[in-house]
Homo-oligomer: A and B are copies of this chain.
């Protein structure tokens, strides 16, 4: 497979627009009468579209590997998730809408409970409420560290993001989170020279945090893990010569898209809202990443019928996208989230590609099995962008 450097050389400007519609966790498994969520859905618009489209199955990472949302999306954007690893800390911070910079070390944090000897008795502090978490993060934000700025941002329940900001900080330090109870938190040790200052800052922060949280219960301490820095990704503008924008309801997907240089378009919460934002901004960009979250959420809940309902809702709004007549429309998932598994899975994602220059005639519907024999075969997610770019006639000939 070609790499980003090769693509950078081959990609050219063009007029054709690309819409990448990602229904998170779209792929499913047969349950009801042997049908998957897609098969059980009533989707007249997708059915009609499929008849004029190519189809394929897409592995987010590699056969059998279950991806998280970060690597799954990076792959779809054409960035090898095995090469460009996004640290847990950075993923958490961008997921919270934090504007991360190159001077930041971002860290995933958990409030926890320690006993009088400092031994961890509950790594999640009894899953304190998000309200308490928010209040405690505010307290911790008051800690002063010489030579660095500090940000402590609440997530859900016991989770938070911690960011240290100072020039030249490395992120190669060990975690304080021991990943088990019955021991004291570990020291944060530097693994290279550049990370010595980071370990000093972290140690100072943890000492202060212990004092600030001393009288709280059950969240009387905080554990740090996944120290990471902003990954230096070439932008989609650099690689593909595309002016790209993201339309997503959840902050993490906007954050991921920002990491590869997409502009964030403000949107309301519904699918209709997202498609209206697409229409209103259609003239301003070459590439749109439109993210639908609820297919994944209901998959994770094990709610087959609700996932079907979301698919049908997207189908009924689909004409709003088709009316724009994009040069290339790709509809796919980032990973599968079969309701029966209640989790992300390794099953490849159904992908439908419609353009003025696609082969068609093999699909009657947009389902996993129809896509399996839809002409494109089995692809890796890294092939999706080159394929979309080719169909947009934005790739030049290689060699004479």
Contacts and interface: CB of A to CB of B under 8 A. Distances in A.
The count of identical subunits is 2
Contacts of A395: 64-66, 346
Interface in A44-99: 57, 61-72, 81-82, 85-86, 88, 91
Interface string A355-386: 00111111000001100110111110001011
- Which of the listed residues A1, A397, A398 has the most CB atoms from chain B within 10 Å of its own CB? A398
Contacts of A362: 369, 372-373
Given A376-B378, A387-B63, A359 B29 contact: yes
A191 interface: no
A390 interface: yes
Nearest to A336: B359
Interface residues of A, number: 65
Contacts of A389: 64
A399 interface: yes
Given A2-B61, A57-B377, A359 B36 contact: yes
A299 interface: no
Contacts of A2: 61-62, 65, 82
Contacts of A67: 397-399
Interface in A221-261: 226
Contacts of A1: 62-63
Interface string A325-362: 00000000000001011011111000000000111111
A303 interface: no
B341 A386 contact: no
B369 A64 contact: no
Contacts of A85: 399
Contacts of A319: none
Contacts of A147: none
A397 B335 CA distance: 11
Contacts of A345: 357, 390
B64 A398 contact: no
Contacts of A135: none
A49 to B, nearest CB: 15
B400 A70 contact: yes
A397 B30 contact: no
A61 B383 CA distance: 12
A68 to B, nearest CB: 4
A68 B369 contact: no
A386 B10 contact: no
B70 A383 contact: no
Contact of A400 (B34, B68, B340, B388): B68
A346 B353 CA distance: 14
A368 B362 CA distance: 11
- Which of the listed residues A338, A359, A387, A399 has the most CB atoms from chain B within 10 Å of its own CB? A399
Contacts of A10: 65
Contact of A368 (B63, B359, B379, B388): B359
Contacts of A81: 398-399
Interface of A: 1-2, 6, 10, 29-30, 34, 36, 57, 61-72, 81-82, 85-86, 88, 91, 226, 338, 340-341, 343-347, 357-362, 368-369, 372-373, 375-379, 383, 385-391, 395-400
7 contacts: A2-B65, A29-B357, A62-B383, A65-B398, A70-B399, A369-B375, A378-B378
